[in-house]
Amino acid sequence: MKTIMLVCSAGMSTSLLVTKMQKEAENKAIEVDIFAVSASEVDHVMLQKDIDVLLLGPQVRYLQTQFEKKLKDKNIPIDCINMKDFGLMNGEKVLDQALVLINGN
C-alpha cells in the first residue's frame, strides 16, 4: 500500500480532493492511503507515518523548497498539485500525478 500526503494551508481545502482521489483509487483497484494535513502538521505526521509522496496544494507551493530540503534524505518525492486539477478537484489526475512520482516515471 502506498501513502499519499496532501498538504494545504489548513488541511481543509484538500479534504474533498482526498475523497475524490480515494474513489478513483477504488475504481482502479489501487490500494492507497490518502490523507490531507495542514502545512504546520507535516513534521509531526512524518514522525508517525511512512509517506511515499507529498503533494502540495497550490496555495502552499511556496513551501516546496523548504519541504524538499527536509525530505531530501528520506527519498520522498514532492510536487505541487496542478492548479487547474486542484480547482476542478480532479481526483483522477492528482492520483495519477502521485503514482507517477512514486513509481519514478
Assess whether 8 carries a catalytic annotation: yes
Q: Which of 8, 39, 81, 94 is catalytic?
A: 8
Surface-to-core class of residue 12, CB atoms within 10 Å of its CB (0-12 exposed, 13-18 middle, 19+ buried): exposed
Strands 32-38 and 78-80: unpaired
Catalytic site residues? Answer: 8
